Amino acid sequence: MPRSDLADIVLERLTAAYRSASGPRRAAAMDAWITDGGPWVVRTALLHQLSHKERTDADRLFAHCLLCSSA
């Protein structure tokens, strides 16, 4: 298994607390993480929504992707 695949699984599990956190609290944390500059922190900000499925905040996710694409 490639290291990035393993890291994605670990990051997904470590951010489980944020999935259960209230929306504004979680959103504020991910908004801060997306601008952190550390590649793994930024990646986590994007990947934390993996298990959200129908609860994915699509607007925020796309805004974060745009931030990453312009960096």
> Nearest-CA neighbor of 48 among 69, 17, 3?
17
Which CA distances in Å does 18 have to 1, 12, 29, 44, 51?
Answer: 26, 10, 8, 11, 11
Reported pTM? 0.68
pLDDT, position 2: 66
Cα separation of 51 and 57, whole Å?
12
Domain boundaries, the chain: 3-69
Q: Are 12 and 50 in contact (CB under 8 A)?
A: yes
Cα separation of 20 and 23, whole Å?
9
**pLDDT tens digits along 17-57:** 666 666 677 788 888 989 988 888 888 888 877 667 787 88
Cα separation of 29 and 1, whole Å?
29
pLDDT band at 10 (very low <50, low <70, confident <90, very high): confident
